[in-house]
Amino acid sequence: MAKNDLVVVLLHEFGHGLGFSSFMSRTTGNTPGGATDPFLNNALDGSTSTVLRDLLAQPPATRLAAIQKVDQIVWTGPNVAAAVPSTLLFGRPELDVPSIPSVDGSRYGTAAFGAPIPSTGITAPVVLAQDGVGASTDACEPLTPANTAAMAGSIALVDRGTCGFVVKVKNAQNAGAVAVLVADNTAANPPAGLGGADPTITISSALVTQATGNAIKTALPGGPVTVTIGVNLGRRAGTDLQDRPQLYASTPIAPGSTLNHWDPIAFRNVLMEPAINPDLTHNLIAPYDTTLAEMHDMGWFTDANLDGQEDATVILDGCDTRVANGFAGNGALVSDLARSWVLQCRQTTTPGKAFERCFDDLAKEAKHADVISGDQSAHLRQCAQTKGSS
């Protein structure tokens, strides 16, 4: 059983408490007193170019319909926009099916077991699984001899239900399939991931929507259907066609998750997705994450000296670096970067010279990446040497 990092879970919940959520009800579509909130002010229905706060003048059903538009609800805040290029990576999971326009370019959910989908994709004709028992296309039993003969070198299409994902994929693998598409058995969208564990599974698999599965099944009697389970290297995983970060829109609405998270297709994985991923760190700034940038878009600011005003300069453990606390090139404040370096170096080194070398290396790396200037790097390192290492 997989274990979650407690600190990551707490940071996720703190994120919600500090505003990574809207007051809009996911069941009624209403907000308290009909008022907007900072989250809605930064969320956009990309299909109509309508800011979600402007939908408050529309019937509640219109708002509920908007947040079910998969791939269309995006975040427009400038700080997250600045963080996206260094945080979200190119490589959106997509099916390439030129013969079926309704399926071509559709997304899929990846599996927690077996081989990952290679960047070059997996291309092969699709064969519908047949096990000859009960719901014969669910691949819960070994595939029939005739189906096995047809399956070799193909992508197996199996239906969800009756048994676990690993059972289906293992039966398809044993029949010679090079990959598996599991068609969902409900109209849920977007497709989730495939859970399970079996180290003997060596092929790749993915979950597709019920509509995608049905479209492929309908086309199969007309002749071979070749599918590429691929990765679109021209598009970031987690952004729309205008490179804006996607929020989680879903059909049906998941009351605790829809709108209140980043789209789970995002990669790198980020803290405020619906599920906690095992590769998350405790670092909330780009290029590791977009959480702190989102907080800045919401109106939060840094106040290290507790005077109630946004810090004009970066302060490290009471040491005024004399560095203006502006936004760095990755969407975080300079103070956010500096404090993250202090935390990282304190966790990995001992006070003194080892800490100073660690901080120096991180500051110089940021300077070489044009995130901060040479003067900023020098002043930050000087303060870290006198105060940050104690």
Residues 294-343 pLDDT 10s: 998 998 887 766 778 777 888 887 788 888 888 776 667 888 888 888 88
Is a pLDDT exceeding 80 seen at residue 42? Answer: yes
User: Which whole number is the average pLDDT over 70-86?
Assistant: 94
pLDDT, position 329: 64
Q: Which two tokens stand for residue 19?
A: 């505003």
Domain limits, the chain: 6-87+237-284, 90-234, 301-388
| Percentage of the residues of the chain whose pLDDT score is greater than 90 | 72
Is a pLDDT exceeding 80 seen at residue 53? Answer: yes
pLDDT, position 286: 84
Give the pLDDT band (50/70/90) at residue 225: very high
Is a pLDDT exceeding 60 seen at residue 387? Answer: no
Is a pLDDT exceeding 70 seen at residue 206? Answer: yes
Give the pLDDT band (50/70/90) at residue 388: very low
pLDDT, position 2: 60
Q: Residues 165-196: pLDDT tens digits?
A: 999 999 999 999 999 999 999 999 999 999 99
| Range 90-234 has CATH code 3.50.30.30 | yes
Is a pLDDT exceeding 60 seen at residue 153? Answer: yes
pLDDT, position 389: 46
Is a pLDDT exceeding 80 seen at residue 1? Answer: no
Q: Which of 51-55, 72-76, 143-147, 281-285 has the lowest mean pLDDT?
A: 281-285
Mean pLDDT of the chain: 92
User: Which whole number is the average pLDDT over 208-222?
Assistant: 97
**Among positive and negative, which fits the CA dihedral 16, 22, 23, 26?**
negative
Q: Which of 47-61, 253-267, 357-371 has the lowest mean pLDDT?
A: 357-371
Give the pLDDT band (50/70/90) at residue 369: confident
User: Which whole number is the average pLDDT over 132-141?
Assistant: 96
